[in-house]
Chains A and B, each alone.
Chain A
Amino acid sequence: MSEVLVAEEENLILITSLSSDQVVRTAHVVDAMGIILVNNKTPQESTVKLAEEFGLNIIAVDLPMFECCCAVQGLQNQS
């Protein structure tokens, strides 16, 4: 998670294969816009609840990390 905390950019999207509460807390610390869980990981109920508390969206996708990053990059380029 420290690699994420190093990031200086605004409006980050955290793409990860980890689905713990700490992912949400890390995203909250860096003011991320949302979290994408790759590899079809399902977040625990407490994790979803914490994300709601912080106003963070969580999306779970059935994509590997690399493909997910490419897809997000593609969407960003389109917009």
Chain B
Amino acid sequence: MSLLSLDPRQSPLVLIELIQRLKIKDVMSRDVITAQRTTSLHEIKELMRTRRISGLPILEGRRLFGLVTVEDVMEGLERGVMDDPAEKHMSRNLVVLEEEMPLSFAVEAFEKYSYNRFPVLNEDKLLAGIITSRDITMCLLREINEEVRRMEDGMEAMPVKEPSSISRRFAVFQHDFKNGGKASTMIKKLLQEQGVKGPLIRRAAVAAYEMEINLVAHSLGGELLLLLNNQKIEIIARDRGPGITDIDSAMKEGFSTATEWIRSLGFGAGMGLPNIKRVSDEFALKSSPEGTEIHAKIHLKEEKNNESK
């Protein structure tokens, strides 16, 4: 059973918005019980028993080295090797998440793998925390309570022109250059109707348009999403593949895999992804052969250098 669905047709939009807005670091547990690679299985069993946990990361210094679960300990008991160090019995092929990733990445990981927990690394690739499906559920409950309270408090106080929470989803089709850009046009119009400032609308429109053209030119088709609340505009592009094989190169200006045919239409200059990042206050990209997902967030109230762009 999946924790939550990221499909707007299957989950309430407020949940989708929360999953996109929150980062893994907002949800994960930082107080992680760990053991070193030389710690014996016996000691690990005692840690699990006294701290009521069913798995713990194995470290070398602060670097994540593996994971021992209660199944590993049970196997050690059966084989009578409880004095062995953890490194002999731990799982080494780990799926890890990074603390700056959107929470949606964790939700997808729980959907994809049958694990109960995922270690979370910081930007230095050191263990920063651990995330479980319970962490996500509890955090979402807290956030929804807070959201409801804000809504109740703000019903009368909210100025008419204040941008309210809205979300829209647009299907985008492969090689549909005729209609490519329509979704971005509608996004721009919606933002204007919501009273968002002109420079912010332009940045959002550039991000949305670049994403939409990328979907048309390079993907097998997908969708463009707009999420808007009082804090930020978020544009999300999701596709069904074939994925970006070399993300580092794709993020460099001038790198392009576009065919001559696409170039003849005026696209494929290799500026799309760098442009999206340039106009965003926050940018995230993940890609696999199954699909690519890009998040571009533009803050409404925190005017930074990008404001002039």
Interface segment out of the listed B43-51, B113-121, B173-181: B173-181
Contact B205 A29 (CB under 8 A): yes
Q: Say how far A31's CB is from chain B's closest CB, in angstroms.
A: 6
> Most chain-B CB neighbours within 10 Å: which of A1, A2, A16, A28?
A2
A27 to B216, CA, bound (A): 19
How far is it, in angstroms, between the C-alpha of A21 and the C-alpha of B198 when the chains are bound?
Answer: 23
A interface residues, Cβ below 8 angstroms from B: 1-3, 5-6, 8, 16, 18, 20-23, 25-26, 28-31, 54
The CA-CA distance from A3 to B202 in the complex, in Å, is 15
Let me know if B266 and A25 touch, CB within 8 A.
no
Prevailing SS type, chain A contact patch: helix
Quick check: B206 and A25 within 8 Å, CB to CB?
no
Residues of B near A54 (CB, < 8 A) are 185
CB atoms of B272 and A21 under 8 A apart: no
Q: How far is the CB of B307 from chain A (nearest CB, A)?
A: 11
Report which of B178, B184, B202, B271 forms a contact with A2, defined as CB distance below 8 A.
Answer: B271
Q: Which residues of B are in contact with A by a Cβ distance under 8 Å?
A: 177-178, 180-181, 184-185, 188, 198, 202, 205-206, 209-210, 213, 265-267, 269-272, 275, 278, 308-309
CB pair A2–B181 under 8 Å, yes or no, is no
- Find the A residue at minimum CB distance from B179: A21
Alpha-carbon separation in the docked complex, A61 to B52 (Å): 77
Residues of A within 8 A of B309 (CB): 8
Are A2's CB and B267's CB within 8 A?
A: yes
Q: A20-B266, A30-B206 are in contact. Are A6 and B275 (CB under 8 A)?
A: yes
Partner of A18, one of B181, B209, B266: B266
A49 to chain B, nearest CB (A): 13
